């Protein structure tokens, strides 16, 4: 019986550690918390069922608990950005078609001073400015 309590305690510690590592927006975070708790209950129930000799039920509960734990950790891929054309990159940076690498770099620095997330900009805008610079520097 002591081994069962040890297994249940290990499942509870695992659930608490996992919940402590959650960094997600509110709507998705509630699903992750609920799924983690439910999977912990299923794994604990599987340990109890196995201790009582109900191996088929224990296997089903353990499989469901592990599947739920895995599915709650799968993160969706971010949407792929569309390819930026050279004219779009020049308009983002505000440089002419004859601009050289030094002028492109100077325009990028000026824009990143305002567009960087640490300076009050957004991640999307900073990524767009970086993509524009990278495209023009490759040409």
The structure's pTM equals 0.44
* Nearest partner of 44 among 55, 58, 54, 30, judged by Cα: 58
Residue with tokens 């009050």: 120
84 contact partners, CB below 8 Å, separation of at least 6: 92, 128, 131, 132, 135
- As a whole number of angstroms, the distance between CA 50 and CA 57 comes to 8
Pick 137 or 26 by higher pLDDT. 137
Q: How confident is the model at residue 30 (pLDDT cuts 50, 70, 90)?
A: low
pLDDT tens digits along 113-139: 988 888 888 888 888 999 999 999 987
pLDDT tens digits along 43-96: 888 988 998 899 999 999 999 999 988 887 776 666 666 788 899 999 999 999
Residue with tokens 């201790």: 51
Helices 26-51 and 2-20 pack at an angle, to 10 degrees, of 170
Mean pLDDT of 13-42: 69
- As a whole number of angstroms, the distance between CA 86 and CA 63 comes to 52
Domain ranges of the chain: 2-73, 86-138
Q: What is the CATH number of domain 86-138?
A: 1.10.287.110
% helix / strand / coil in the chain, to the nearest 5? 75, 0, 25
pLDDT tens digits along 83-104: 888 999 999 999 998 999 999 9
């Amino acid at each position: 019986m002591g081994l069962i309590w040890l297994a249940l305690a290990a499942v509870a510690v695992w659930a608490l550690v996992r919940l402590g590592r959650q960094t997600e927006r509110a709507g998705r975070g509630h699903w992750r918390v609920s799924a983690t708790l439910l999977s912990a209950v299923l794994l604990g129930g599987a340990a109890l069922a196995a201790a009582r000799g109900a191996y088929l039920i224990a296997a089903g509960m353990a499989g469901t608990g592990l599947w739920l734990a895995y599915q709650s950790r799968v993160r969706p891929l971010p949407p792929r950005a569309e390819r930026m054309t050279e004219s779009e990159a020049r308009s983002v940076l505000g440089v002419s078609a004859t601009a050289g690498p030094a002028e492109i770099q100077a325009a990028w620095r000026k824009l990143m001073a305002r567009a960087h997330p640490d300076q009050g900009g957004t991640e999307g805008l900073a990524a767009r400015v970086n993509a524009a610079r990278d495209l023009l520097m490759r040409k």
